[in-house]
Amino acid sequence: MATEAKPLDARTVGELRQSYQDHLFRHLLPYWLEKAIDEEHGGYYTGFSNSGGRLLHNHKFTWSQGRFVWVWARLACQFAHTAEAPQYLRLARSGAEFLMKHALLPNGHVAFILSREGKPILLDEQGNPRQAEPGEFYDTSTFADCFVVYGLSEYARASHDPAAFDFATRLYESVEARITLGDFRTDPYPTPEGYQQHGIPMIMLEVTRELAVTSEDFDPALSERLHRRASEFARTVMYQHRQPDLDVLIEFMGTDGRVQPNLLGTYINPGHTLESMWFVLHYAEEAGDETMKGQAIAAIRRACELGWDDEYPGLTQFAHMEGGRPRGAVPEGLTDHAMVRKLLDDWDAKLWWVHSEALYALLLAHYYEPSEWSREWFWRMHEYTFATFPEPAGEWASIRNRDNTPIDKVVALPVKDPFHVPRAFMHIVRLLSMPGWTA
């Protein structure tokens, strides 16, 4: 893909910052402000079609509700000088109060799906709500708990609300206890026996570090403990899941700490790698760990190289750790595992969130270590992304076929998640406002 690698100097960075800020406020947020707010029950609608044209259901996945609280709360903080900041804080409060009132089950875990009114539900094969039967449970994914902590922590920081902070810290402690017990549930892609999933230390690094920052104003002693815990999660990501000889992040490592030589054990998720590595860069910058920063930047470069589709532009959803489509034997007994099916059937999809994470990761890498490769990759990703995903009516399409033609299918959850793109663009606007940019 031929791309003009323009400079990233003081002039172009200013223009780029304004472009991303305009897209955030004129293309992304108006869609959600018009369609997503449940003024009657609180929280947000996210069950839209991939193109964003239709509301398919009004169920409330707590995974998405927590993320949306984070978006509104961060907007209120980062753009506190704007006339819209009080509205953003009000919208964050709507979701935060809905979650604090409805999300927790009697066991202190978060229900994965709530009805519009806030009752825990499961879904049948047609997507209709139903109640749990004996032996079933509503808390199918601890990732949902993590995103509720993430959102409530950000809301507590924006609003100075001690109740939200207490809710977030208590829930965080519950998640930590589940990690200790080996009871961290990972739907929609359960972790098979004998494997450990990169997604757990990855999300815990970001959630822990952000909660540590929030805690500085509420509980300094807790903040110090959380900063130390974030260091442990960063080291797990970088020194267990990262393979230093290849600069790749393995998603499913063996519990023995080794790469498993099969389909599940040798694939990479370029989008996860790129997102995880900017989590690490945020941590390493605060910790003053220049070695870890360099390792993360190398992994960002390798994820782009291995994930980029030379036949059709864009990053594929999955790849083999040495390049190309995921390959290897299917582990015994896992033929019908959800992740195995996805690796075989959907590896070459082009997803919206992956490319928004790539844009920020590449800019951050270039800011810390300016180089020709990061500049060229950023502009390549920028041009492809804006030519492919933005929808004329607002927001972005969620998924494209390998050849970038439209497709309408569920990516991971039956929601149009209002998170990755606004978060990435807020980070990009902040980063491009910092001094020190060179070509």
Query: Which bin fits 289, alpha (ψ -120 to 50), beta or left (φ > 0)?
Result: beta
Tell me, rounded to whole angstroms, the distance of Cα 338 from its chain centroid.
20
For the chain, percent of residues with pLDDT exceeding 70: 98
How far apart CA 103 and CA 211 sit, in angstroms, is 19
| Amino acid identity, position 349 | A
The pLDDT tens digits of the residues spanning 300-333 come to 999 999 999 999 999 999 999 999 999 999 999 9
Domain spanning 1-35+247-439 has what CATH number? 1.50.10.10
Residue 98: band (very low, low, confident or very high) from pLDDT cuts 50, 70, 90: very high
pLDDT digits (tens, 9 = 90+) for 387-410: 999 999 899 999 999 999 988 766
Query: In this structure, how many other beta carbons lie within 10 angstroms of the beta carbon of residue 129?
Result: 17
How confident is the model at residue 1, as a pLDDT? 46
Is the pTM above the cut of 0.75?
yes
Average pLDDT over residues 342-351: 96
Residues contacting residue 301 through CB under 8 Å, at least 6 positions apart:
247, 365, 373, 374, 377
CA atoms in the 13 A half-sphere facing the CB of 339? 25
Q: In which band, very low, low, confident or very high, does the pLDDT at 201 lie, cut at 50, 70 and 90?
A: very high
Beta-carbon contacts of residue 426 (< 8 Å; ≥ 6 apart): 24, 74, 75, 78
Q: What is the pLDDT of residues 282-306, one digit of tens each?
A: 999 999 999 999 999 999 999 999 9
Q: Is 436 within 8 Å of 367 (Cβ atoms)?
A: yes
Q: State mean pLDDT over 146-155.
A: 99
Q: Which sequence spans correspond to the domains of the chain?
A: 1-35+247-439
Q: Two tokens at 198?
A: 């990169």
Span 365-381, pLDDT tens digits: 999 999 999 999 999 99
Per-residue pLDDT at 2 exceeds 90: no
Do 312 and 404 meet the contact criterion of CB atoms below 8 Å apart?
yes
Cβ atoms < 10 Å from Cβ of 341: 13
Report pLDDT for 127.
87
168: its two tokens: 């977030």
Alpha helices by DSSP H, 60-141: 62-78, 85-102
